[in-house]
Chain A
C-alpha cells in the first residue's frame, strides 16, 4: 500500500520535469523545421543517428572506452586520496606541510594539464587517465581531510576512555566517522572525472565519447551524432551520480544523512 502510494507520489513528482524535457525537445524540433537548417539535426535525426551507432557497435565501444578511462583514473585517485586525506586529517604536521601545495594545485583546471600529459604520457590511454586522476584526486583529499577534522570530539573521547588500540581507533572510529565525507568527495571526484574524460578525448585518441563528438563533426558535419554523443554523456553522468548516491544509502553512513 505504502509502496504503491510512494510510487504514485514519485510519478507525480517526476511529471513536471518530464514536461519540461518534452517542451525543450518540442521547441528544438520546431526551431529546426522553421529555420530549414541543413546541418542542425531534428530530435528524430538524433534518434536515428544513435540507433545507427548502436547497431554497428561503435557506440558501445566509445562508451566502454570512456568508462574504462574514468574507472582506472578515478580508481587510482581513490586509492591515493583516501589514505592521504586520512593521514593529513589525523597528523597535524602532514596537514601543515601538504595542504598549501594541494591548495595551489587544486584550482588549476585539468584541461591546463593536457600539454604536460601529452609530453609525459603520449597520446595513448595514459594521458586521459592521468588527467582524470589529477581532476578527481584533490576534491577527495580535501573532503577526507575535512571529514577527519570534523569528527565530533565526544566520539574520540569515548575511544580514549576505553583505551583501545590505535588500529581499532582507526578502523572503528576515525574511518567510519569520516566515511560520509569520503563519499561526498567521491561523488564530486567522479563528477569531475566524467567532465574531464570527454574533454581529454577531444584532444587525441581514437575512441571514447569525446572522440565520437569531435570525429562526427570533422567527418562530414554529422551533427546528429554530435548531439547524440552529448545526450549520452549527460545520461551516463546522471547514472554515475546515481550510483554514488547508492553509497549514501549504506547503513553504516545512514546516521549522517538521516537527519
Chain B
C-alpha cells in the first residue's frame, strides 16, 4: 500500500502566561492508503492539536505533513474533518447540507445528495432541519455530508463522544458498514480504547504532553470484531497499560 499521509517530525507549542507550552514534540508516523488509524492518548495530551495540524487547520511550528506526496498547506475537500461538536449547518436542511460541499455545476447533485442521505439511513429526512433530528441522526448527516464530496481521507476527532454509549456503538458499526462500501483512509482520535479496537486497523498511543508516539499496535482481527474475545481483551489491557492504567483480565 502506498503511503497516504506522512507526519514528519511535527512540533507545536502555544504561548501562555508562563512561557511557551510545548504541546507536540518531534512527532512522526505515516498512514497507508485505505488504512484506518486510531490515535488514543490521555486527555489534554494534544490529540486535537495534532489532528488540526494533519487536517491543515493549524500550521506546525516544525516539521511537515505530507499528503499524497505534497506538503499540506491548509485544509481542502480531499480530507474532511468530523468533530465531536459537529458542524452540520443548523440553518440548512439535511439535503441542503449535503449539497453544500458539491460544486454547483455538478450534474445530478441533488440525486447524489439523496443517495448519500439514504446510505446513512436518513431517507425521508432530507427536508428536515438539524434541530428536528436526534443526536445520532445529526452525526449520520455529518458523515453523509463528508462522504458525498468523495474525500480521500476522513479526519474524525472524537466523533461519537457526545453520544450515549449505545448510540456510539451503533454509529461505530454504521461507520464500518459504510467504509466497507467506500474505501477511505481514516484517522480517528478517541479516548475510548474499545472504540479504537472495534474499528481501527492500527492504534497509536500518544504520550502525555508534549505528545509523541509512545506505542503502536496492529489490530489484526477480522470484521465484525468481538471485543469479548481473549485476543481483543489482551490488546485492550496492553493499550491501557501504555496509558498508565493497570488492569487484569
Known: A155-B89, A158-B89, A173-B89. Is A255-B130 also a contact (CB below 8 A)?
yes
A104 at the interface (CB under 8 A from B): no
Check if B89 sits within 8 Å of A172, measured CB to CB: yes
The stretch among A41-49, A229-237, A246-254 that forms the contact with chain B is A246-254
Taking the nearest CB of chain A, how far is it from the CB of B190, in angstroms? 19
CA distance A44 to B30 in the complex (A): 86
Taking the nearest CB of chain B, how far is it from the CB of A114, in angstroms? 41
Taking the nearest CB of chain B, how far is it from the CB of A38, in angstroms? 60
The stretch among B9-17, B21-29, B73-81 that forms the contact with chain A is B73-81
Taking the nearest CB of chain A, how far is it from the CB of B129, in angstroms? 6
Check if A157 sits within 8 Å of B92, measured CB to CB: no
Known: A251-B129, A254-B131. Is A161-B81 also a contact (CB below 8 A)?
yes
Contact residue range for chain B? 20 to 34
Check if B90 sits within 8 Å of A157, measured CB to CB: no
B100 at the interface (CB under 8 A from A): yes
Check if B89 sits within 8 Å of A162, measured CB to CB: no
CA distance A255 to B76 in the complex (A): 28
Taking the nearest CB of chain A, how far is it from the CB of B106, in angstroms? 13
Known: A163-B76, A163-B77. Is A176-B91 also a contact (CB below 8 A)?
yes
Check if A161 sits within 8 Å of B77, measured CB to CB: yes
Of residues 40 through 97 on chain B, the ones whose CB sits less than 8 Å from some CB of chain A are 55, 57, 75-77, 79-81, 83, 85-87, 89-92, 96
Contact residue range for chain A? 20 to 34
What are the residues of chain A within 8 A of B87 when measuring CB–CB?
A: 154-155, 157-158
The residue that B81 contacts in the complex, of A157, A168, A253, A254, with Cβ under 8 A, is: A157
CA distance A18 to B16 in the complex (A): 59
B149 at the interface (CB under 8 A from A): yes
A196 at the interface (CB under 8 A from B): no
A177 at the interface (CB under 8 A from B): yes
CA distance A161 to B81 in the complex (A): 7
What are the residues of chain A within 8 A of B121 when measuring CB–CB?
A: none
Q: Which residue of B lies closest to A251 (CB)?
A: B129
Interface of B, helix, strand, loop or mixed by DSSP: loop
B220 at the interface (CB under 8 A from A): no
A51 at the interface (CB under 8 A from B): no
CA distance A159 to B195 in the complex (A): 28
Scoring B76, B89, B90, B131 by chain A CB atoms within 10 A of each residue's CB, the highest score goes to: B90
Taking the nearest CB of chain A, how far is it from the CB of B184, in angstroms? 15
CA distance A118 to B83 in the complex (A): 58
Check if B57 sits within 8 Å of A157, measured CB to CB: yes
The residue that B100 contacts in the complex, of A160, A162, A177, A251, with Cβ under 8 A, is: A162
Check if A176 sits within 8 Å of B77, measured CB to CB: no
What are the residues of chain A within 8 A of B96 when measuring CB–CB?
A: 172
Taking the nearest CB of chain A, how far is it from the CB of B92, in angstroms? 7
A-B contact pairs, 26 of them (CB 8 A): A154-B83, A154-B85, A155-B89, A157-B81, A158-B81, A161-B55, A161-B75, A161-B76, A161-B77, A161-B80, A161-B81, A162-B80, A162-B100, A162-B149, A163-B75, A163-B76, A164-B100, A168-B100, A172-B89, A172-B92, A176-B91, A176-B92, A179-B91, A254-B131, A255-B90, A256-B90
4 new A-B pairs (CB below 8 Å) besides A157-B57, A161-B76, A255-B91?
A158-B89, A161-B55, A168-B100, A253-B91
Mark B residues whose CB is within 8 Å of A: 55, 57, 75-77, 79-81, 83, 85-87, 89-92, 96, 100-101, 104, 129-131, 149
Give 8 nearest A-B pairs by CB, closest first. Answer: A255-B90, A162-B101, A158-B87, A176-B91, A154-B87, A163-B77, A161-B75, A255-B131
